[in-house]
């Protein structure tokens, strides 16, 4: 039934006049929020009452409603059907469940694509994608932009004062399927972006290095996206295209967000990120949100999936500048989109969820509440599986609800860390451009390896931008920073000079923000800081390894390195650079800058980073065997802290701790300062840091 867009009769809420920053503190949900995506429009009305009852049983406090409901909410252009959503909002409110209401703009309905065919995205090859799945829109389409803002406005007008509304969920996973569109509309928007960035054609031609291959532009209209070309497209064109495409999607988000803020200034706005998604520079996005949220899906076949989970959670906390964030989606068990969708083992759901909480999440949500009956995701797990409540998944969902209630006091506390890893999207885009010395230099594996080495030692890491204040860190790790701005290079240099300690990976500091080589000897921006000069790169053959003088091995990359001020800490003992330095260390100002000129094997990386951590006074919150994750969160007063101990091993562990379990095995006797954590189990201790640690 089509209803005009009028608000339902709900008691008005008192407007709050808080600054937006404080919206990050979760005004409307007490403790750690718990829930998932709820798609009632896939189910008959009779199911909704059962849903609400079971949500209560599981301790659900927040659900995201209507992510893919555009076709149902606006069945024909300009006519709205809010009747069903009115009922759902009221029902959820009556059961004490808050709603993170989606603007439903992630999947334009069939009428939209038919009416506005030019809004469909186009590939690099000039091929239009068809509707019939989801996310079939061009980010630069004015028709899409207008229609999405209209729908967001209609929803805000209707539900802005509904007492169930706790947050706005704009769109869904921007760019996860269509991060870039190469159509003419996008080309025009790209030109506007470039004009704003460079001002005039002379600066633009200079930045793109168009003297090369007769690429000089004499009119803005000649400029195109990097569509399919006979040979390598201009690298700076490609780099700016990544920048533009990330910004253009951000403009879609901003347009909806501004419409929502206009009507509901006191309701926080979020959109769900997808962790380390290459096309979207989330550092530039995060500052535009009130609350940072993320979706994380474990790769079932990855034996180190729990390390990758930790890494993503730490990145998200970095995006949120250390403030609590929302785990908007993860899975109770199998997903539907991996080649082999492994079910989670008993206890894994809980372990994974609490890993996120340990690393700063103040909300644990799943995709989705009730497993779908039809559609592409019908074999994706849900909180309520096809098997119903007599199932492992449901029992664990209910148990987790109880666990999160027990951890309510942890909400709002901050994660402690002395180590930062520098992460940078433009550097990622640039280092993986074509026509480089080796196709084997990939950004994420380098980040992952450094992260994993620290994880294995129980060291919690913050993810930071290269140009942010680093002074509070004892150690900063730069896995790869091929492209670096003047400001970021100066920041890293100043950090070390003031007494900081830095570890830098190979092929860093090489180009400026336009991908132009910094002349005068590699590693350009970091030559002085590292006290080295690289004469020539010697990338290795695929799968080739070289031996290092400390017993380790290197792969992917080597280089002819001269020490100018640095000292050699390891040499190549075979390979093309026999006898040349492989690793160096340079005293610079009051600090030290270490350099790794090859990709180190994991055991060597563990040892090298471990020794550096020892030297600079970085340690794990407690001593524990390998495979036992331990992370500390501390409340605002600084007096109370919470230690999360997550046992990923198959053995029981007995650890020395100071504090009492607020979650764990009731059998533990805390008087003796020990905690026993069963294989696969989790313990959370409220610490008494004043008490002496018994070792
Ligand atoms: C996410 C998406 C959800 C659902 C889920 C399945 O990427 O936001 O809508 O598709 O994946 O794992």
Per-residue H/E/C for 374-424: CCCCCCCCCCECCCCCCCHHHHHHHHHHHHHHHCHHHCCCEECCCEEEECC
How many Å is the Cα radius of gyration of the chain?
Answer: 26
Any ligand 1 atom below 6 A from CB of 367: yes
3-class SS of residue 135: coil
Strand arrangement of the beta sheet that strand 475-478 belongs to: 461-464, 419-422, 475-478, 501-505, 591-596, 581-588, 567-571
d(CA 602, CA 449): 7
Q: What is the pLDDT at residue 670?
A: 64
Distances (CA, A) of 423 to 175, 230, 461, 475, 488: 20, 33, 12, 14, 12
Spatial separation of the C-alpha atoms in residues 124 and 126, rounded to whole Å:
5
Distance 63 CA to ligand 1 centre (A): 15
The confidence band for 349, taking pLDDT boundaries of 50, 70 and 90, is very high
Taken in order 444, 193, 237, 513, the sign of the CA dihedral is negative
- Among left, alpha and beta (phi > 0; psi -120 to 50; other), residue 180 is beta
Q: Are 24 and 291 in contact (CB under 8 A)?
A: yes
DSSP three-state, residue 612: helix
**Whose CA is closest to 598, among 559, 569, 650?**
559
Classify 268 as helix, strand or coil.
coil
Which among 260, 343, 352 has a CA at the least distance from the CA of 301? 343
| Residue 26 confidence (pLDDT) | 57
Specify the pLDDT at position 3: 37
pLDDT confidence of residue 30: 87
CA 516/CA 510 separation, integer angstroms: 8
Rounded-to-integer distance, Cα 193 and Cα 251, Å: 12
What is the distance in A from the centroid of ligand 1 to the CA of 336? 9
Indicate whether 32 pLDDT > 70. yes
Percentage of the chain modeled with pLDDT above 90: 92
Q: In what order do the strands lie in the sheet with 293-295?
A: 269-270, 165-169, 98-102, 62-65, 33-38, 361-366, 325-329, 293-295, 272-273
- For residue 476, the cross-strand partners are 420, 502
Provide the pLDDT for residue 664. 86
Residue 691 has pLDDT above 50, yes or no: no
Q: Residues 299-323: what's their mean pLDDT?
A: 97
Q: How far is 463 from 315, CA to CA, in rounded Å? A: 5
Catalytic site includes residue 308: no
Beta-strand ranges (E) seen in 154-235 are 165-169
Question: In ligand 1, which atom is closest to the CA atom of 335?
Answer: 12
Q: What is the pLDDT of the chain when averaged over all its residues?
A: 94
Tokens read off for 334? 């199998």
Checking if the pLDDT of 174 tops 50, the result is yes
Give CA–CA dist 192/186, Å, rounded: 10
Q: Are strands 293-295 and 325-329 parallel, antiparallel or unpaired?
A: parallel
Is the shortest distance between the CB of 173 and ligand 1 below 6 Å?
yes
Q: What is the pLDDT of residues 180-223, one digit of tens each?
A: 999 999 999 999 999 999 999 999 999 999 999 999 999 999 99
User: Is residue 273 within 6 Å of ligand 1 at its C-beta?
Assistant: no
| pLDDT at residue number 248 | 98
- Beta strand residue intervals within 212-323, DSSP E: 269-270, 272-273, 293-295
Enumerate residues 6+ apart whose C-beta is below 8 A from 663. 354, 403, 406, 407, 682, 683, 684
Global pTM value: 0.95
110 by DSSP, 3-state: which?
Answer: helix
Q: How far is CA 440 from CA 124, 545, 695, in A?
A: 24, 13, 44
Asked if residue 380 has its Cβ within 6 Å of ligand 1, the reply is yes
- What percentage of the chain carries pLDDT values higher than 70? 94
Alpha-carbon dihedral 264, 268, 273, 275, rounded to 10 degrees: 170
Whole-number pLDDT of residue 182: 98
CB 172 near ligand 1, within 6 Å: yes
pLDDT average, residue stretch 263-282: 96
Q: Tell me which of 133, 367, 369, 378 to substitute to probe ligand 1's pocket, judged by most ligand atoms within 8 Å of the beta carbon.
A: 367
Both tokens of 382, joined, read 């849900």
Q: Quote the pLDDT of residue 14.
A: 32
Per annotation, catalytic residue among 74, 122, 185, 329: 329
> Of 683, 661, 682, 675, whose CA–CA distance to 348 is shortest?
682
Q: Give the Cα separation of 591 and 406 in Å (integer).
A: 43
Q: Is 173 a catalytic residue?
A: yes
């Amino acid at each position: 039934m089509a209803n005009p867009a009028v608000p339902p009769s709900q008691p008005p809420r008192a407007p709050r006049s808080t600054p937006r920053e404080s919206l990050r503190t979760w005004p409307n949900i007490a403790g750690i929020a718990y829930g998932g995506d709820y798609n009632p429009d896939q189910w008959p009305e009779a199911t909704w009452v059962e849903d609400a009852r079971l949500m209560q049983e599981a301790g659900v406090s927040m659900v995201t409603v209507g992510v893919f409901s555009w076709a149902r909410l606006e069945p024909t252009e300009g006519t709205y059907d809010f009747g069903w959503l009115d009922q759902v909002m009221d029902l959820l409110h009556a059961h004490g469940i808050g709603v993170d209401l989606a603007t439903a703009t992630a999947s334009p309905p069939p009428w939209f694509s038919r009416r506005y065919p030019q809004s469909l995205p186009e590939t690099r090859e000039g091929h239009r994608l068809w509707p019939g799945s989801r996310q079939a829109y061009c980010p630069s389409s004015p028709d899409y932009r207008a229609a999405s803002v209209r729908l967001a406005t209609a929803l805000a007008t209707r539900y802005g004062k509904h007492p169930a509304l706790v947050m706005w969920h704009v769109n869904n996973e921007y760019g996860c399927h269509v991060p870039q569109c190469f159509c003419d509309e996008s080309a025009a928007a790209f030109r506007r972006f470039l004009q704003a960035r460079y001002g005039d054609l002379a600066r633009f031609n200079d930045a793109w290095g168009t003297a090369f291959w007769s690429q000089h532009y004499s009119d803005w209209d000649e400029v195109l996206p990097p569509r399919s070309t006979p040979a390598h497209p201009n690298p700076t064109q490609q780099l700016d295209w990544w920048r533009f495409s990330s910004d253009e999607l951000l403009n879609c988000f901003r347009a909806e967000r501004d419409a929502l803020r206009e009507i509901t200034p006191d309701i926080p706005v979020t959109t769900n990120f997808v962790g380390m998604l290459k096309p979207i520079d989330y550092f530039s996005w995060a500052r535009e949100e009130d609350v940072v949220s993320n979706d994380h899906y474990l790769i079932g076949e990855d034996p180190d999936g729990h390390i990758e989970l930790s890494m993503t959670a730490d990145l998200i906390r970095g995006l949120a500048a250390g403030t609590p964030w929302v785990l908007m989606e993860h899975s109770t068990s199998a997903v539907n989109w991996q080649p082999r969708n492994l079910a989670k083992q008993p206890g894994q759901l809980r372990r994974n969820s609490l890993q996120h909480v340990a690393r700063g999440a103040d909300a644990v949500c799943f995709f989705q509440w009730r497993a779908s009956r039809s559609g592409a995701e019908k074999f994706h797990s849900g909180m309520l599986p096809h098997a119903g409540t007599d199932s492992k998944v449901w029992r664990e969902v209910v148990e987790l609800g109880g666990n999160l209630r027990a951890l309510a006091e942890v909400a709002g506390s901050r994660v402690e860390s002395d180590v930062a890893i520098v992460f940078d999207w433009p550097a990622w885009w640039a280092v993986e451009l074509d026509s480089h010395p080796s196709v084997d230099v990939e950004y994420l594996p380098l980040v992952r390896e450094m992260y994993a080495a620290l994880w294995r030692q129980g060291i919690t890491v913050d993810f930071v931008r290269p140009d942010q204040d680093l002074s509070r860190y004892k150690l900063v790790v730069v896995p790869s920073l091929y492209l670096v701005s003047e400001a970021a290079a100066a920041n890293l240099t100043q950090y070390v000079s003031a007494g900081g300690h830095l570890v830098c990976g190979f092929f860093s500091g090489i180009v400026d923000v336009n991908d132009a080589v910094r002349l005068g000897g590699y590693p350009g921006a970091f030559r002085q800081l590292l006290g080295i000069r690289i004469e020539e790169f010697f990338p290795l053959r695929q799968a080739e390894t070289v031996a290092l003088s400390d017993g380790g091995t290197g792969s992917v990359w080597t280089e002819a390195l001269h020490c100018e001020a640095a000292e050699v800490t390891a040499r190549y003992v075979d390979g093309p650079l026999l006898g040349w330095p492989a690793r160096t260390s340079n005293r610079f100002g009051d600090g030290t800058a270490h350099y790794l000129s090859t990709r180190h094997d994991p055991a060597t990386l563990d040892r090298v980073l471990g020794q550096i951590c020892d030297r600079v006074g970085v340690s794990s919150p407690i001593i524990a065997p390998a495979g036992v994750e331990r992370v500390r969160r501390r409340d605002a007063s600084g007096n109370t802290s919470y230690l999360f101990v997550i046992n990923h091993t198959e053995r029981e562990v007995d650890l020395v701790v100071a504090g009492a379990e607020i979650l764990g095995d009731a059998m533990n006797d805390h008087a003796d300062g020990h905690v026993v954590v069963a294989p696969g189990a989790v313990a959370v201790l409220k610490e008494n840091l004043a008490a002496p640690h018994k070792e």
